[in-house]
């Protein structure tokens, strides 16, 4: 068991109707609020109007149009500019993980005199950040309970996971009813994202009985509940359980004391969505089983056996490689069963830039130090196997 230093100070306010606590929560900050959101979905479900009504006594500035795989330019830059020009006191992010990720970069940038990219690229360490409150409308990234965000810079094909301890949301509102209208495609991709967050932590050298058990039930709960959500999008209990499952994904509580896995699938997927702007959860689902097949060997097989037996109930008396291969196939089949396109060509990616992307990943993601080390040629092979 490894040493660790852990804290997640975020307050989670969870359940149907909890937005009624918004005025009380926001009264703990100043008058000037930057409201950040994406497209029109929060208007469609009435959440935008509700927030404006509840915060009628605040001075609200807005940054809208934040996209999936949120962009440094214009979203982060615009947000920072609004904050600085108007002395914003607090950011209220309303939407999915992309809106919140973008808001975290804005929160740090607003308190920094230079180019916010200095922070995101870790050239400079943030010394402060604006407080963030969020209202989550998609069960997926877990950004509501961690201090990280992923920001894309289109001109350089960079997609960087940026973490800083100033960026834990102060308060996250999680009302599962806001996810009732999420399209099936996004519900499934959100599940795949959250499952991959767990897998990235599960497949490592050194874990504990407790962490393994947490992660195994986390995966099982996601698989059971996403199917219920897809069958009946207004199944409150299933939406609620899936929402909380996702919340734990990235705040490290699943892997306290575990050795670092290197998060290889995220490293590879970031290139796919940086180059092609695909849906992150779909990219992860496509890559994951190919990555598993690629790294399966005598050194790694025992983790796949544990995964297969405890998550998928595969007969533990079979040969270890048979269990491992069945587990990998079951992973693929599960993603397929919830409607995820399982080939890169299904999401518009062909052979043409694979070598370039593999090179980008090899240079930027440090995967030669992952649990199962990946060189540039391994990454290219995994991409090719995913076509």
Q: Measuring CA to CA, which residue among 237, 228, 242, 213 is closest to residue 311?
A: 213
Question: Which string of x and - marks every residue 14-43 that binds a copy of itself (by CB under 8 A)?
Answer: xxxxx--x----------------------
The DSSP call for residue 76 is I
Size of the site for a copy of itself (CB under 8 A): 41
Residue 39 or 233 having the CB closest to a copy of itself: 233
What distance lies between CA 52 and its chain's CA centroid?
A: 27
Residue from the set 158, 245, 269, 365 that interacts with a copy of itself by CB under 8 A: 245
* CB-based burial label for 142 (10 Å; 0-12, 13-18, 19+): buried
Residue 56 or 209 having the CB closest to a copy of itself: 209
CA distance 344 to 350: 7
Q: Are 324 and 301 in contact (CB under 8 A)?
A: yes
The one segment of 56-64, 123-131, 210-218, 276-284 that binds a copy of itself by CB under 8 A: 210-218
Residue from the set 180, 236, 275, 321 that interacts with a copy of itself by CB under 8 A: 236
What dihedral angle (degrees, nearest 10) is formed by the CA atoms of 296, 301, 306, 311? 20
**Is residue 8 part of the contact set for a copy of itself (CB under 8 A)?**
yes
Read off the tokens for 96. 């999915």
* CB-based burial label for 100 (10 Å; 0-12, 13-18, 19+): buried
Residue from the set 67, 177, 221, 355 that interacts with a copy of itself by CB under 8 A: 221
Residue 257 or 339 having the CB closest to a copy of itself: 257
CA angle 67, 72, 91 (to 5 degrees): 75
The one segment of 40-48, 62-70, 250-258, 323-331 that binds a copy of itself by CB under 8 A: 250-258
**Is residue 178 part of the contact set for a copy of itself (CB under 8 A)?**
no
**Is residue 5 part of the contact set for a copy of itself (CB under 8 A)?**
yes
Task: Give the binding site for a copy of itself (CB under 8 A).
Answer: 1-18, 21, 208-210, 212-214, 216-218, 220-221, 224-225, 236-237, 240-241, 244-245, 253, 256-257
């Amino acid at each position: 068991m490894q040493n660790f230093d852990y804290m997640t100070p975020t307050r989670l306010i969870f359940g149907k109707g909890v937005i009624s606590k918004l005025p009380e929560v926001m009264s703990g900050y100043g008058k000037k609020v930057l409201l950040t959101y994406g497209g029109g979905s929060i208007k469609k479900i009435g959440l935008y109007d509700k927030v404006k009504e509840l915060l009628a006594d605040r001075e609200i500035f807005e940054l809208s149009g934040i996209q999936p795989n949120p962009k440094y330019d214009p979203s982060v830059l615009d947000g920072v500019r609004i904050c600085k020009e108007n002395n914003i006191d607090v950011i209220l992010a309303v939407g999915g993980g992309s809106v919140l990720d973008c808001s975290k970069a804005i929160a740090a940038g607003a308190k920094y005199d230079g180019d916010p990219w200095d922070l995101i690229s870790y050239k400079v360490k943030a010394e402060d950040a604006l407080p963030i409150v969020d209202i989550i409308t998609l069960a997926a990234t877990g950004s509501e309970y961690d201090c990280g965000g992923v920001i894309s810079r289109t001109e350089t094909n960079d997609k960087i996971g940026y973490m800083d301890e100033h960026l834990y949301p102060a308060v996250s509102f999680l009302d599962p009813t806001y996810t009732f209208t999420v399209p099936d495609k996004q519900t499934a991709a959100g599940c795949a994202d959250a499952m991959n967050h767990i897998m990235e932590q599960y497949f490592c050298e050194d874990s504990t009985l407790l962490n393994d058990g947490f992660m195994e039930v986390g995966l099982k709960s996601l698989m059971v509940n996403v199917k219920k959500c897809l069958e009946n999008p207004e199944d409150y209990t299933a939406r609620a359980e899936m929402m909380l499952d996702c919340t734990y994904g990235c705040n490290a509580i699943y892997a306290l004391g575990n050795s670092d896995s290197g998060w290889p699938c995220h490293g590879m997927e970031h290139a796919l969505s940086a180059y092609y702007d695909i849906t992150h959860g779909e990219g992860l689902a496509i890559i994951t089983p190919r990555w598993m097949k690629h790294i399966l060997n005598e050194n790694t097989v025992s983790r796949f056996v544990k995964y297969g037996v405890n998550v998928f109930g595969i007969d533990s008396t079979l040969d270890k490689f048979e269990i491992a291969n069945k587990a990998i196939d079951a992973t693929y089949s599960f993603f397929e069963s919830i409607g995820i396109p399982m080939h890169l060509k299904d999401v518009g990616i062909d052979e043409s830039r694979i070598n370039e992307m593999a090179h980008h990943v090899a240079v930027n993601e440090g995967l030669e130090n992952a649990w199962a080390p990946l060189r540039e040629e391994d990454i290219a092979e995994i991409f090719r196997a995913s076509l």
